Chain A
Amino acid sequence: MRKKLRLSDDNVQAFLMILPFLIGFILFSYVPIVYILRYAFTNYSGFGDCKFTGLANFVRAFKRDPDFWQSLLNTVILSAGKLAVEIPLALLLAVLLNKKLKGMSFFRVTLFLPAIISAVIIGLIFSLLFASHNGMINGILANVGLIEKPINWFNTKWKAMLILGIASVWQNYGINMIFFLMALQSIPQELYDCASIDGATGLTRFFKITLPMIAPIFQSILLMAIVGSLKVCDLVISCTNGQPGGTTEVVMTYIYKSFFGKSGRNIEVGYASAMALITAIFLGIVTFVYLKATKRLKEYEG
């Protein structure tokens, strides 16, 4: 016998509350995955014919498209490099901001500032700062006497990647800093008081109390930062747009361009879907390995 559904029933109320979100979410996050799966095995070009081609797209990606793998490698290098700077920097600044000193509210405002502007403007800022003939960085370097003639920052792959990395750190460290700050403020002050009585000082307290206490949150922050930077797209488009010569393309911009036929490429919905699928599986593997590897961090939570 079925129970009658009633508005007073708790589960019914709960479902009513999540219904709008859930419908939208399933419609726009799960149903599209079906479409990706469908197109990935076809030669669909956006209009006209859509012929099933089996594994042809995957064979092409694995065997005949070194640029795709190069873009994936670029993404990994860029992410690893920028996170190695960004995460410690965010944690350091959060620890400093968490000290109850005068003027901290002012520094919170200024230090979070880069996080509130759009990628378009960040692209503009970095192209101005690093412009070759009238850019500020070249001007400073020349004034200090470090360089004799202006450096063209965007004409080789590694220089352009370096600037992408700096721009990306500048854009993203603020949000991680705020999350670290939230984590730090949840540590009870008594722990530090006890430690002081036992004679623990600065660094000892940081490694013995602060880090273990924020370890579980640290794990989540780092996971979000890793996934976020592997998915980077608009910052690269507005900063270098893959230049010089497509060498700073990241995986999302590479897929984006073949999907929409930007930068002189053909529109290849089928092939782009296949690459998106490969990338999604790659992200899944990275996340899985990360979660396994950091399991011990979670256990601190006790």
Chain B
Amino acid sequence: MAKDLDFEPSAPKTIKKSTGTKIFEAVAYLLLAAGSIICVLPFIIIVSGSFTDNSTILTQGYSLLPKNFTFSAYETIFRSPKDILQAYKMTIYYTVVGTGLGLLMITLTGYVISRKEFKYRNTVSFLIYFTSIFGGGMIPWYLMYANVLQLKGSTLAIWFPALMSPFLVILMRTFIVGAVPDAITESAKIDGAGHFTIFFKIVLPVLKPGLATVGLFLALGYWNDWYRSSMFSTNSSTWQLQFYLYDLLNATTAMKQMASNVSMKTADLPTESVKLAMAVVATGPVLLVYPFVQRFFVSGITVGAVKG
């Protein structure tokens, strides 16, 4: 994880501080450190548990460092990795397609509703805002996909719905307004540039922070989603990774399937540690990528916000 980032709390400062400031800083560090521990600890417990012998977990519970270290949970999972790899493949597919298309559609829409001279700006914005509040949950769009368009079982039903996120459009609009001052677009217009030219030549090049933030939210949404599989998948070959995990945690059938894959009795399967190891396998990529993406993301917020 991100342990090796630049963390130097005791670096010397040249400016002399008052006692009040010192106390404030000490309290600030204390609170932040306590918060961070509460955030990171559960991850450590899961990773540690996934390397712990199953019977040790059952009798002694979870610990910060693995007692009776073993790879057996991972061996059990990867002895017959076909199902997991399939879920991985599908999730990567959903994430890449969904994030790519979603970014394109959301950025274009965010740009248009950020332009003051666009006549129907308020109407379009209202259409988008309205459902973010009044939407009736997932039932309306389930009816649309399953009953009207007959898309049950299709992978389209899994990645398509999340493209239309009103929240992300509004967020993107905020980034665009912050990154591109009106004066610049107006002078471009006077020079005869149309919306497409302004968008691709002026807005897009300075929109990295917005793209990183919205892209991260989209990608996380796709990677972490599981209930679209539970609604639309008719066949386990289209399952999302998180739904595979959900199924493993909640249905005994999945454990039985895994036991028969590795020719073991269900009772002999290290169920507890297998669950934890699956959680690690399902979250791993996000944890590995996130520290790198968040650099853009956090610096992006600063850049966008200073100008806005």
Among listed B23-31, B65-73, B260-268, interface-contacting one: B23-31
Contacts of B60 in A (CB 8 A): 134
Among listed B78-86, B92-100, B125-133, B251-259, interface-contacting one: B125-133
Question: CA separation between A269 and B136, bound complex, in Å?
Answer: 14
Q: Which of A72-122 contact B (CB under 8 A)?
A: 92-93, 96-97, 99, 101-103, 105-114, 116-121
The number of residues on chain B lying at the interface, defined by a beta carbon within 8 Å of a beta carbon of chain A, is 104
- Would B2 and A106 count as touching, CB distance under 8 A? yes
Q: With A36-B143, A107-B32, A255-B137 given, is the CB distance from A121 to B301 under 8 Å?
A: no
- Would A255 and B139 count as touching, CB distance under 8 A? yes
Judge whether B184 is part of the interface by a CB distance below 8 angstroms: no
- Would B305 and A118 count as touching, CB distance under 8 A? no
Task: For A108, give the chain B residue with the smallest CB separation.
Answer: B298
Question: CA separation between A17 and B222, bound complex, in Å?
Answer: 24
Q: With A18-B124, A124-B275, A284-B134 given, is the CB distance from A11 to B119 under 8 Å?
A: yes
Q: With A92-B31, A109-B291 given, is the CB distance from A13 to B196 under 8 Å?
A: yes
Question: CA separation between A120 and B224, bound complex, in Å?
Answer: 8
- Would B39 and A113 count as touching, CB distance under 8 A? yes
Residue-wise, chain A 169-190 has the 8 Å CB interface mask toward B (1 for contact) of 0100000001001110110000
Contacts of B7 in A (CB 8 A): 102-103, 106
- Would A29 and B62 count as touching, CB distance under 8 A? no
Q: Which applies to chain A's interface (DSSP): helix, strand, loop or mixed? A: helix
- Would B242 and A35 count as touching, CB distance under 8 A? no
Q: Which of B162-178 contact A (CB under 8 A)?
A: 163-164, 166-167, 169, 178
Q: Return A204 CB to nearest CB of chain B, in Å.
A: 13
Q: With A14-B112, A18-B124 given, is the CB distance from A128 to B8 under 8 Å?
A: no
Judge whether A256 is part of the interface by a CB distance below 8 angstroms: yes
Q: Which applies to chain B's interface (DSSP): helix, strand, loop or mixed? A: helix
Judge whether B40 is part of the interface by a CB distance below 8 angstroms: yes
Judge whether A25 is part of the interface by a CB distance below 8 angstroms: yes
Judge whether B249 is part of the interface by a CB distance below 8 angstroms: yes
- Would A185 and B302 count as touching, CB distance under 8 A? yes
Contacts of A280 in B (CB 8 A): 134-137
Question: CA separation between A269 and B140, bound complex, in Å?
Answer: 11
The number of residues on chain A lying at the interface, defined by a beta carbon within 8 Å of a beta carbon of chain B, is 89
- Would B136 and A136 count as touching, CB distance under 8 A? no
- Would A14 and B39 count as touching, CB distance under 8 A? no
Q: Which of A14, A18, A103, A110 contacts B8 (CB 8 A)?
A: A103
Contacts of A139 in B (CB 8 A): 61
Judge whether B202 is part of the interface by a CB distance below 8 angstroms: no
Question: CA separation between A135 and B29, bound complex, in Å?
Answer: 29
- Would A234 and B306 count as touching, CB distance under 8 A? no
Residue-wise, chain B 26-70 has the 8 Å CB interface mask toward A (1 for contact) of 001101110110111011011001000000011111100000000
Task: For B243, give the chain A residue with the smallest CB separation.
Answer: A120
- Would A10 and B224 count as touching, CB distance under 8 A? no
- Would B40 and A20 count as touching, CB distance under 8 A? no
Contacts of A28 in B (CB 8 A): 141, 144-145, 160-161, 164
Question: CA separation between A80 and B246, bound complex, in Å?
Answer: 28
Q: A124-B249, A276-B137, A279-B137 are in contact. List 17 more A-B contacts (CB 8 A).
A: A11-B120, A14-B195, A21-B105, A29-B141, A32-B143, A35-B143, A99-B28, A103-B8, A106-B5, A108-B298, A121-B242, A121-B279, A124-B46, A134-B58, A170-B38, A231-B137, A280-B135
29 sample A-B contacts, Cβ–Cβ < 8 Å, listed by A number: A10-B117, A18-B112, A21-B109, A22-B109, A25-B164, A28-B141, A29-B140, A33-B136, A99-B25, A103-B7, A107-B33, A113-B39, A113-B40, A118-B224, A118-B225, A120-B224, A121-B46, A121-B283, A124-B279, A128-B42, A129-B42, A129-B45, A134-B62, A135-B61, A136-B62, A182-B301, A186-B305, A201-B20, A287-B133
Sort A-B residue pairs by CB-CB distance and give the 10 closest, nearest first: A32-B140, A134-B61, A118-B224, A110-B36, A13-B195, A276-B136, A185-B305, A17-B108, A21-B109, A106-B7
